[in-house]
Amino acid sequence: MIAPSPNPPVLKRLWQSLLDWEPRTQSGWRRFGAAIALTLLAAWLRMALAPAESGGRFITISLAVALSALYGGFAAGMVSTVLGMVLVNFFLVKPYAALAFDNPTEAFWLNLWHFLTQLVVVSAIALMQQKRRLWHEADEAVRLSTRQLEDTFEHSATGMAHSRLDGSWIRVNQTYCDLIGYTRQDMETMSFRDFTHPDDLGLDLDLLARTLSGEIDHYSIEKRYIHQKGHIVWVHLTLSLVRTPAGEPDYLIAVVQDVSDRKATEVALRVSEQLLRQAQRMARLAPWQADMITGRFSSLGDAPAFLGMPTTNYGADDLLALIHPEDRALVQRQWPLALKGRLRYDVEYRLLLGDEERWHSVQAEFERDAQGRAVRALGVTQDVTERKQAELEIQRLNASLEQRIQERTRDLKGAYDDLESYSYAVAHDLRSPLRIINGFAQALQEDHPSLDDACHGHLSRIMAASKKMGELIDGLLQLSQYTRGEVQRVPVNLSGVATRQLEELAAADPGRRVTWSIEPDIEIQADPALIDALMQNLLHNAWKYSAEVPDAHIRVFTQDTHGQRHYCVNDNGAGFDMARADKLFQPFQRLHQAHQFSGLGIGLATARRIVQRHGGSMRAQGTPGQGATFCFTLPDGAE
**pLDDT in the model for residue 278:** 72
Residues 283-297 pLDDT 10s: 667 788 888 888 888
Q: What is the 3-state secondary structure (H, E, C) of 544-612?
A: HHCCCCCCEEEEEEEEEECCEEEEEEEECCCCCCHHHHHHCCCCCCCCCCCCCCCCCCCHHHHHHHHHH
For residues 118 and 63, what is the distance between their CA atoms, to the nearest angstrom?
10
pLDDT (tens digit, 9 = 90+) per residue, 531-568?
888 888 888 888 888 878 888 899 999 998 888 899 99
What gap in Å lies between CA 616 and CA 532, rounded to an integer?
A: 16
Packing angle of the helix pair 28-49, 74-90 (nearest 10 deg): 30
Pairwise CA distance, residues 141 & 135, whole Å? 10
pLDDT of residue 437: 75
Q: What is the DSSP secondary structure assignment for residue 3, as one 8-state letter?
A: P
pLDDT score for 594: 47
Which has the closest alpha carbon to 554: 536, 572, 568?
572
pLDDT of residue 484: 56
Q: What is the DSSP letter of 300?
A: -
Strands 490-493 and 374-383: unpaired
Residue 226 main-chain phi, psi, to 5 deg: -100, 110
d(CA 316, CA 283): 25
| Angstrom distance (rounded) from CA 60 to CA 39 | 9
99-117 b/e (C-beta count within 10 Å ≥ 16 → b) = ebeeeeeeeeebeeebbee
Region of 73 on the Ramachandran plot (φ > 0 left; ψ -120 to 50 alpha; else beta): left
pTM surpassing 0.75? no
Report residue 346: phi and psi, to 5°. Answer: -150, 95
CA distance 299 to 316: 13
Q: What are phi and psi of 258, to 5 degrees?
A: -70, 120
Instruction: Give the DSSP letter string of 399-452.
Output: HHHHHHHHHHHHHHHHHHHHHHHHHHHHHHHHHHHHHHHHHHHHHHHHH-TTS-
The segments of the chain whose pLDDT lies below 70 read: 1-8, 10-21, 50-58, 93, 96-98, 100, 276, 279-284, 301-308, 413-432, 434, 456, 464-486, 580-601, 636-639
Pairing of strands 523-526, 564-571: unpaired
Report the pLDDT value the prediction gives residue 614, as an integer from 0 to 100.
84
CA distance 286 to 365: 14
Contact 241, 212 (CB under 8 A): yes
How many Cβ atoms are within 10 Å of 590's Cβ, its own excluded? 16
d(CA 392, CA 388): 6
Distance (Å, whole) CA 556 – CA 541: 13
Region for residue 435 given its phi and psi (left: phi exceeds 0; alpha: psi -120 to 50; beta: otherwise): alpha
**Count of CB atoms situated within 10 Å of the CB of 54:** 9
Residues 6 or more apart whose Cβ sits within 8 Å of residue 379: 287, 288, 289, 290, 345, 362, 363, 364, 365
Q: If you ran DSSP here, which 8-state letter would residue 170 be given? A: E
Q: Write down the pLDDT at residue 29.
A: 85
